[in-house]
Each structure stands twice: as C-alpha cells, then as structure tokens.
Structure 1
Amino acid sequence: MTTSIESEIEHARRGRTAHTAVELSGVGKTFGTGTGAVTALRGIDLRVAHGEFLCLLGASGCGKSTLLNLLSGLEEPTTGTVSVNTARPSFMFQEAALMPWLTAARNVELPLQLAGQGRGARRERARELLELVRLDGVGDKRPHELSGGMRQRVSLARALAAATSTDGSAQGGAPGLLLMDEPFAALDAITRDVLQGELLRVWEATGTTVVFVTHDVREAVRLSQRVVLLSSRPGTVVREWSVDEHGPELHDEITGRLRQVITSHAA
C-alpha cells in the first residue's frame, strides 16, 4: 500500500519545475519614521523556484530574518512587492519552540488541528512525518525527554506539517514553503552535521521549497542549490552563486566576499 509520504516523494520528483515559488521585486523594509527610522532592507529582487533550496547568507543584522518575516506575511514591505505561490509558509527557528505539555506527536499534529484536519487524518500524518525525520517510536515522548537534536527533528516535522495544504485543495498535501532561521546554530557540531544531512534527505523526499538563513558559509554551500549574499544593513543582494556550477573553491570565494561586505560596513 502506498503511503501519502511515498506519494509525496514521487510527486516531488516528477513535479519540480522552474516555476516561481517566491518573488520579491524592489522590496524594501523600514521600521519607524523620521529620525528614528531604520531601513533593514532596500531594493531586494529575488526569485526562488518551486522545490529549490536557497540559502540567505550575511552578517548579523543584515536583514536576513526580516526577509523571512516578509515571506511569511508577518511583516509587510515598505516598498516593492512580495509574491508567494506555494501552500502556506511555515517557520523553523533556532530553538525548537515545542509545546512542553504536548507529546512529540501532538506537537506535530498541532498545525494540522488548527487547519481543521480531522483527528484520525492528522494522527496518521504526524506518524508519517515523525517517521520521515527518523523519530518513529518516540511520538509519545514529551520535549524534556528528548535530546536537543531530537527536539529539532520534531520541530522540522511540525514545520513540514504546517507547510503542506490540509484543506483538501492540494492533492496529497502540496509542497509548501519552509522558512528556516538558523535552525541548527544552537546545536553541537556533531549533531548539527547530522541534522544538516537529515534536512537534505527530507528536502529531497518532499520537494518543499526551502529558504534557509545562516551566517555560516560552510553550511550554506553544503545545503543549498543557490547561495545569496546580502550586504550589511540596509540589506540588498550583493551576489549569488549556483552551487552546482562551482567547484571546491566556492567556499573560499564566498568567504572572501563576505569579509569584504563586513569590512566595508565597519569602515
């Protein structure tokens, strides 16, 4: 019997196209007014294809998280337009942010419940997603009973649940948009390495569009298909690289350009 996860994997492999999932045109964001105004982003032009894994790279304070907030609809642009053509976006943060009184399975079920999905369907979906992130058998555990890496896996499963349509309008749960704000930064190096590999496996399996924020060049090159470098505040696109089109020297090239951006801002 074919599960919905298996159907999703096959659909993702067949259906990835160059069609645009996300488009920002002339986007700027300013907080406040008058002399106290702070411009976080300016003149952002960016497109992300359906099923693409894109990393936003830049120094702290360059507007990476603000850009994610614009994509999620939590913020509105001051100038320009933001278009998101996916199932509803979902977030994954540096902290797992799980509900401590709920089990792992119930945490994954929560966005499905809020979307109105029936109990049986959401329990089955939560089971499938926990299995996808290699946590089958721990659905009845509460967050304090899990390691930090396991909590982040639960958070990933919950984000995937939230990123798929549950209103019946999308066949089999349409791949959505996953917004990831340095989700592995608080983990130790070994756990971080493992979860990076797991994220790539899950992305390959589901076809979810991923926009991943980091300030770690090595992480960006390992994970993404495309790396976009933002300038220091106000953030704007400095340069982008297609990872598949560059060799092993890409890490050094991006690092050098990032250092230039940071140095020019400090000057």
Structure 2
Amino acid sequence: MSVNLHQRVRPQSTDVAVQLSGVVKNFGRGEHTVTALDGVDLTVAPGEFVCLLGASGCGKTTLLNLVADLDAPTAGTVTRNTSRPAVMFQDAALMPWLTAATNVELPLRLAGFSRAERRAKAAELLELVRLGGQDRKRPHELSGGMRQRVALARALAATHRLDGGEQQSLLLMDEPFAALDAITRDVMQGELVRIHDATKPSVLFVTHDVREAVRLGHRIVLLSSRPGRVVREWTKDENTDEGPLTDDITARLREVISTHAAH
C-alpha cells in the first residue's frame, strides 16, 4: 500500500495538546539514582503526529508514561489539554475471552456508555479499521495485523467521552507495529495514516525505525542516550524530500547510538 504523505494536512492551530517543560525523571535514590529524562521540553499541537526516536533505554517509554499520567515527573511539568489518553503497545493486549466488538466496547463501558451506544460506536470503529464483519471473532481467530487493528479501534474508543465534549483526543503509541512482519507493518502504517487523517487525534508515537517515523510523523524528535534530552527535531511539509530527510535522521541516530555504546 502506498501513501502520499505530501497530501496530508498538518495541524494549523497554535494551541497546545501536550506540553512538557523541563521534565526530569529519576528512578532510585542516593548513589543508586538513575536519571532517565533530564530537562525535556516538548510540545505537541492539536492533531499533530509526533514520532519519538532514540537509542534503547533513552527514556521514550518513560516519557509516554508521564504523558499518560501513569507516573509523575521528578521535576518539571507535564500539561495535557486533551481527553484521557489511550495507549497502544507492541502487544495488542486484547481480552482473549471477548470478541473483537466487545474488546472495543470495553473502554466505552468503563466510561458509562449505554449498551446500544457501545455497540453502535464499536461497529463504527471496526468499520474504520476495516474489520467490518469480524466483530464476533475472538483474538485467537485473528491474524497479528487484525489484532492490532482491534487494539487501534479500542484505543480510539477510549478517547470518547460520555458528555460528548469536544476536547482533543490523544493517542500514545509505543512501537505498536514492531512485532509484525514487514508487509503487515507496511499496511498498518498506511492504515494509521488514513485513520489519523480521518479522526485527527494528537499522537505521540515511539519507534526505532527511521523510515516509519518519516512516513508517519509531521514532526520527528530525536532523544539523546540516557539521560534522555531532546537533541534534534525535524518538521515535514509538502516540499519535504523524504529520502534526504531519512538519511539525515539516520546519521544523527547513529551518532546517538554510538555515544550510548561508548558509555
């Protein structure tokens, strides 16, 4: 599946969906303290798709956990002007005893939607991820790519609010396609572009794959080796030549990984 990113519309609003200011995150105490993040400043605009790159252990997942409010920063502030974020991981983490539809319905049930509303929204979201007609299948009956589609539909369901408010939705995605084969991963990347263009959530997407970051992101942010700091950002527009951009980011990522290995 080929997707022309040059046709994608970048968010025009200057408002802030997520903002990290001077964020520090330490683990442990005293001489055993490990600093995972050190002075991170990062802003995500409403509807913007931001990809995070960096060496293993540089704090990318820690940053997502802070934005998700699953952990608190040691210093600095995290501001989120969005609905409760939905998180998607490498593992689809579906409930094996539930059908595709009832997996998608689960966050809607927890949010207080009625049975009729849950069924209607789940059916709509499964259609959005091109799984219409698969609603009664359980996870073991689905391929890896199909399970990730259900997980994506469930993540989108988690951004719905019972009061119908217009607050910006937020997806936090931690290498969601890393465990898929190359062809399925390529298809899922294209599907995510399509779904993002249709629904316009703000997205923070962690990946180790530079090509994936360039294909998906409006902006690519590179973190240093531990402790994680923002060392470089690249912003795409309709005139961006993706080949040189990929080469430039790859070279900088190699520098970061080399620095990490030297320590």
Q: CA deviation at 1:175?
A: 4.1
From 246, 250, 255, the counterpart of 2:240: 246
Match of 2:45 in 1: 49
Work out whether residues 93 and 182 of structure 1, in 8 Å CA contact, stay in contact via their aligned partners in 2: yes
TM-score with structure 2 setting the length: 0.93
Do 2:81 and 2:168's aligned partners in 1 also have CA atoms closer than 8 Å? no
* Structure 1: segments with no counterpart, 5+ residues: 1-12
Offset at residue 17 of structure 1 (A): 2.0
Matches of 1:16 and 1:119 in 2, distance apart?
37
Distance in 2 (alpha carbons) for counterparts of 1:151 and 1:167: 26
Give the Cα–Cα distance (whole angstroms) in 2 for the partners of residues 257 and 175 of structure 1: 32
The answer to whether residue 34 in structure 2 is matched with residue 38 in structure 1 is yes
After TM superposition, the score normalised by the length of structure 1 is 0.91
> What is the correspondence of 1:186-197 to structure 2 with a 5 Å cutoff?
186-197=179-190
1:207 pairs with 2:200 = yes
Partner SS, residue 249 of structure 1: helix
Counterpart residue number, 2:66: 70
Residues 16 and 161 (structure 1), Cα distance of their counterparts in 2 relative to 1, 3 Å cut: farther
Query: In structure 2, how many angstroms separate the alpha carbons of the residues matched to 1:150 and 1:134?
Result: 9
Aligned twin of 2:16: 20
Alignment of 1:1-267 (within 5 A): 17-164=13-160, 166-171=161-166, 174-244=167-237, 246-247=240-241, 248-267=243-262
* Contact 2:17–2:168 (CA under 8 A) maintained in structure 1: no
What displacement does 1:36 show? 1.2
- 1:122-150 per-position Cα deviation (integer Å, ceiling 9, x unaligned): 11000000000000000000000000000
Q: Distance in 1 between matches of 2:261 and 2:48?
A: 33
Q: Percent identity between the aligned chains? A: 67
Contact 2:25 2:75 in 1 (8 A): yes
Q: Secondary structure at the match of 1:20?
A: coil
Aligned to 1:3: none
Query: Corresponding residue for 1:6?
Result: none
Partners of 2:189 and 2:257 in 1: CA distance: 26
| Structure 2 gaps, min length 5 | 1-8
Give the Å deviation of 1:37: 1.1
Superposed CA deviations along residues 46-79 of structure 1, whole A, max 9, x for unmatched, are 1000000000001110000000000000010001
Which residue identity lines up with residue 60 of structure 2 in the other structure? K
Find runs of 4+ consecutive structure 1 residues off by over 3 angstroms. Answer: none
RMSD of Structure 2 on Structure 1 (CA): 1.3
Number of residues of Structure 1 aligned to a counterpart in Structure 2: 251
Counterpart amino acid of residue 15 in structure 2: H
Question: Which residue identity lines up with residue 193 of structure 1 in the other structure?
Answer: D
